[in-house]
Structure 1
Amino acid sequence: MKTIRFVIAVFTLIVVSCSEDKDDNPQPNLVIKLKFDTSQERLNNLGQPSTVANGNAAQSPIVNRMSANYIEFAPTATTLLGQGAIIFKGPETTAGGSNAIDFQNAVFAGNNETFLTVPLSNIASGNYQWVRVSLAYQEGTINLLVNGTDISGTLGSFVGFNNYITTFNLNGSSIEVNANKLQGFWAFEALGFTSQGQAPEGATTVPNPLFDTSPVPQGSCVVTGQFANGLTITGNETEDVVITLSFSINNSFEWTEVNVDGKFEPGAGEQVVDMGLRGLIPIAN
């Protein structure tokens, strides 16, 4: 009996020791967080400073959550799309016909929240200067003028290349689509009422400072940003590497003005012309 007890005690010590060793040596991760900045520089499609077009007005929305469908680290300015280190690729489907982002299974995150966590061992070692993010969806609050009254509403903007949507909830209202929708599809809710529409093709701003050396397909919504001091993955990291993707929402919601007052007034015939983000700065912590 004493022998049996001794064996059990030794076995227990081994198991506990192994468990403690495992806890003492956690595997480091790459952590991707999102940030939405109203004061970050407002850029155009070429990654150059941009002002609101004549005849238009704009506002900085409050972004509640966002989804991306693709994240890639690129080592140089001439690295073509798809030839860098692909960090993330979201689910896609042909349920609506042509290939599209599967919105029902998309990943979302809000401001200063974690969007993605992957083991660093899955990331190729190297020096990276750029990050590319293919955006899929953004949802937030905008202000508008209705019959002379200032109100706020919730806007859902589908900025991905193609989006298969069944139904989705917008501030408590269920919106049924059951179809593919191209970049620029939007839905809006205010005071319990909903509407939806489609922005003009090519109207969504997608800043890419590497337009000349590494272009991206039209309608892809692949926003490109540069690390201030580069990012080095050695493969020998012992702690998490945290990357904050800071997106500019500086006057990112833009419309045509009918009544020149700087207020969005859809009842007066003012039309949405742009819902794209206005720049990306990746920050390595």
Structure 2
Amino acid sequence: MSMNLSKPLSVLIILLSFFSCKSDENLESSLDAKPKLVVKLLVDPDQRRLGNLGTLVDVPEGHAAQSPTFNAISAHYLELAPNANTLLGAGEVLYHAPETAKGGENAIEFSKSEVVYPGEVWLEIPLENIPAGSYEWVRLSLSYQNYDIVFHYNGKPFDGTLASFVGFNQYIESFNLGDESVSVNENKKQGFWGFKSMAGVVTGQVPEGAITVPNPIFNTSPIPAGSCVVTGSFETPLKLTGNETEDIVMNLSLSINKSFEWVDNNNNGLWDVDEDAEERIVDMGVRGLVPSYIF
């Protein structure tokens, strides 16, 4: 007597396939469940306005400034430092964006940057990859900002969009300003910018060394000239035991309090872009970093 085994066999194959898929899903779910440090970049126009030494500063005489409206932001370096004596690079480096020598000198590769809207998740780092310890300070190297600003032409206000490259050096193939793509295909030093208005796109460069980079611990832990490593301290040190079971959200709040600054030749407090105004951009640096965390 013959038996038809095809049906039971097909059922067995389906069942094995089902449990295999379930196992894969459970494994992926288990990996996803591992606690992470979730990093967000925030901007705050009401945060304290600091200078390079981490002290309160006003807009210099003869200059004017405004707090921009952000569209996007990126950074290329993130480090946790145990204390104020920890030199740059000697703490726990959590992130270092891709760099390249395509343009000659070593530079940030802009096309591979993690660009986000402020408040979105920028990075997720498994907590198991961060050594247990107590961390008082955060170092964050900004690289790119995209924001809207108000300018005046013939005495009338208009909105424009600025792409601001504040990293130490960046290889830029192209970047977008609204619906327009701007080709560069070369390295650009800190302070390169592109600006789009109703008249089109123009590009320029702020003076060398003019970008503000607040570092309250400059005496014990200096940063290289031309970098954009902003330094800030937690109100209470971040203590990691190595036994965390839940995500930790780390918010890195950047002061944009009058962070876009220009020479105000006519002392009217407005950015006038008429040809005879010559009100050049002089600073696009952020004005402080306040890190915090939520368990």
Same fold (TM > 0.5): yes
> Gaps (5+ residues) in structure 1?
none
Q: Which of 204-213 and 9-18 deviates more?
A: 9-18
Counterparts of 1:27-38 in structure 2 under 5 Å? Answer: 27-38=34-45
The question of whether the paired residues in 2 share the 8 Å contact of 1:72 and 1:82 is answered with yes
Q: 1:236 to 1:167 in 2, by over 3 A?
A: same
The question of whether the paired residues in 2 share the 8 Å contact of 1:187 and 1:194 is answered with yes
Secondary structure class of the residue paired with 1:128: strand
Question: In the alignment, is residue 239 of structure 1 matched against residue 283 of structure 2?
Answer: no
Of 166, 169, 179, the match for 2:173: 166
TM-superposition CA deviations, 1:106-140 (whole Å, max 9, x none): 11111211111121111111110000001111010
Counterparts of 1:32-47 in structure 2 under 5 Å? Answer: 32-47=39-54
Of 251, 256, 272, the match for 2:281: 272
The question of whether the paired residues in 2 share the 8 Å contact of 1:31 and 1:240 is answered with yes
Match of 1:103 in 2: 110
Q: Which of 172-181 and 210-219 deviates more?
A: 172-181
Match of 1:146 in 2: 153
Using the size of structure 2 for normalisation, the TM-score is 0.90
Residue type of the partner of 1:278? R
1:102 Cα deviation after fit: 0.3
| Larger radius of gyration between Structure 1 and Structure 2 | 2
1:178 Cα deviation after fit: 1.2
Q: Which of 19-28 and 256-265 deviates more?
A: 19-28
The question of whether the paired residues in 2 share the 8 Å contact of 1:158 and 1:183 is answered with yes
Match of 1:248 in 2: 255
Match of 1:65 in 2: 72
The question of whether the paired residues in 2 share the 8 Å contact of 1:173 and 1:192 is answered with no
Q: 1:14 to 1:102 in 2, by over 3 A?
A: closer
Q: Counterparts of 2:15 and 2:144 in 1: how far apart (Å)? A: 56
1:7 Cα deviation after fit: 11
Once the two structures are aligned, what percentage of the paired residues are identical? Answer: 49
Secondary structure class of the residue paired with 2:142: strand
Match of 1:80 in 2: 87
Q: 1:22 to 1:173 in 2, by over 3 A?
A: closer
Residue type of the partner of 2:291? P
1:166 Cα deviation after fit: 1.2
Match of 1:190 in 2: 197
1:18 Cα deviation after fit: 8.3
1:12 Cα deviation after fit: 6.3
1:269 Cα deviation after fit: 0.8
1:176 Cα deviation after fit: 1.4
> Gaps (5+ residues) in structure 2?
none
Of 181, 186, 192, the match for 2:188: 181
Q: 1:164 to 1:231 in 2, by over 3 A?
A: same
Q: 1:78 to 1:265 in 2, by over 3 A?
A: same
Q: 1:12 to 1:216 in 2, by over 3 A?
A: same
Q: 1:76 to 1:257 in 2, by over 3 A?
A: same
TM-superposition CA deviations, 1:191-215 (whole Å, max 9, x none): 1511111100110000000100000
Of 221, 228, 250, the match for 1:221: 228
1:9 Cα deviation after fit: 6.6
Residue type of the partner of 1:102? E
**RMSD of aligned alpha carbons:** 2.1
